[in-house]
Structure 1
Amino acid sequence: MGDTNDGPSMAAQSALPDDQDDSTNNGGFLRKFFSIIGPSGDSADAGEDTPEGPNGAVGLANLRRMRVEDVAIPKVEIVAVPNDITLDGLVDVFRESGMSRLPVYEGTLDTPVGMIHLKDFALKHGFGATEPFDIAGMLRPLLFVPPSMSIGVLLQKMQTERRHMALVIDEYGGVDGLLTIEDLIEQVVGEIEDEHDTDDDQFWTAEPNGRYIVLAKTPLDDFEEELGLSLTDNEDVDAEEIDTLGGLVFMLAGRVPARGEVIQHPAGLEFEVIDADPRRIKRLRVRPTPEGGVPAE
């Protein structure tokens, strides 16, 4: 949940040095990974067994079995910015979303003009730089793909073109979703934790004013003990059916909520989904509501 893409004839967009730096950093792993995928995106061993993961099957067979539409983040969950955004506004979006790449559009998301990389932005406007802000001069081209493309073929395309994100385009030319190379590889090797993910032994991080950044897999009992508050002591929640904070939020919402959605809890808390995909919640921001009875620290 979350980065950008590359696209058809975006030659008019000026791009800073391409994603060669990203490919170099990940080159060792990616070269080995792609060495077991044939030119068509199929795995070298088409009959390889597929191991079972916590959210369904993962394995090389997914490269030919799964399509882009099976993995893509829905359009409503895409974090993107307009091409007339201000410098301060862009800083706020990068900070709040935690993304390193953002699609840039003109008017609406159905008219994408490129993507902006946090590294390009930081190098040009960070570290005390005083240059005039010009987002057009930092745009990189986007990759556009149809929803029916297999994820194996898309992985090959991303590697060849050194792109780490793609926009999914529907039959009418509108944007229908977004994928990152990480989203695709996770279908083969399982969930990938990066340097921004919370360590397994640290389920939450306390913030000022009684707020927390919490992994959805946090044991509910442990977090209740941290808060000094029962989160299952109301008629909307069946404590026998849930073990994690993510399960609690899922039960309150009645579905998997989208990134950015805020779910209210009767105990005077609200849960903001800050990282999720179409199948699961990953991270939450927990904060007391202004009228709630949970004291701010």
Structure 2
Amino acid sequence: MSDDIPLGLLLTLLLVLICLSAFFSSSETGMMSINRYRLSHQANSGERAAKRVLRLLSRPDRLIGVILIGNNFVNNLAASIATIIAIHFFGDVSGPAIATAALTIVILIFAEVTPKTFAAVKPERIAYPASVALEPLLKLFYPFVWLVNAISNGLLRLLGIRDIDGSADNLTRDELRTVVHEAGTMIPRRHQTMLLSILDLENVTVNDIMVPRQEIAGIDLDDDLETILAQIRSSQHTRVPVYKGDINNIIGILHLRNAARFLSKPEVTKAAIVQEAREPYFIPESTPLHTQLLNFQQHKRRIGIVVDEYGDVEGLATLEDILEEIVGEFTTDEAATHREIHPQDDGSYIIEGTTNIRDINKVLAWQLPTDGPKTLNGLILEHLEAFPDAPACLQLGAIRMEILQIKDNLITSARCWQSARRARALG
């Protein structure tokens, strides 16, 4: 019967089958390689091709089933036709062997490697047009696809794989961080920094960004009235805490905008100051920044007093402090921003002991540990495991430190620099 079929028709049919094999192979790679998040964005924007591809990818088992059914069918049919052609030219003995070898090479080059490589590089150019044919093919061969998938999914369940729904493809926080890093020029560098800072809010607590209690500029009602008024008039802060005798005895938060109400009166009393102060808002020191940001919004507050588990005041945190963790410093006064870090001519830095370690890392692009003590003084004492009797030197990773001044059981200043060998390695 094969002798009745024209040789030209067989060759044409073989060429068509090789092209169909290339179509199915490239479709499989293109569908599996396409960027799911760009696809979802385009589908949400109303692009019909993206919606069609998204529908097919919602059940990858059915998609792969129809592709492989088509691919195996055309490959097997191509092998049969190639064998008939080879027998025609080379006889019954050597014809099948020659057909197998020749067709393997042709399929490998023209129907596998080349189309799959192209689809991997340009998945959208393959997946979108291929979906036009694959969707009706899936409906046409659905009973056969369903049967094959039922057997295949049963075997997968024996291997412990039960969820084959392609819609649950979510990114973890670390994976999202990688996506932002690899965005390159598609996302401006400053925007990348802001996005990464937002992801870090959950890992940072309010005691990491608070103003320590010893640096809080508050109004002590035990001071004389003239001192208090002079402090109010010269304050650089919009809101200041009001306390009596000790910072742990906070009465309220005074907004200096409201100070005009009693400053304009002929007789100013401490009672008038207290009356204008709003009740204090307290924050547990372990509150993550992303939670506190929502709490500030919910309670309509911009400043909170940070307390420890015993209720003692640890510091003060503001809405601006949290926003600066995302967008960077608001102030344009470099001296104010880096007032605790003093660069030296030899490349080292004299840093005050009360400086927050996270501020040091941000300003100098260092990587001092932040999972323990919050200040440079605490970090040095933890490393030494004792209070030094005299100035000493130490090294933490790539950073060398020289204690310069000790006062009242506090390391008040230290000279810090990056060791040359580690700096070259990092560079």
Of structures 1 and 2, the one scoring higher in RCO (CA 8 A, sep 6+) is 1
Q: Radius of gyration: which is bigger?
A: 2
TM-score normalised over the length of structure 2: 0.36
The structure with more strand, counted as a fraction of residues: 1
The structure with more helix, counted as a fraction of residues: 2
TM-score normalised over the length of structure 1: 0.50
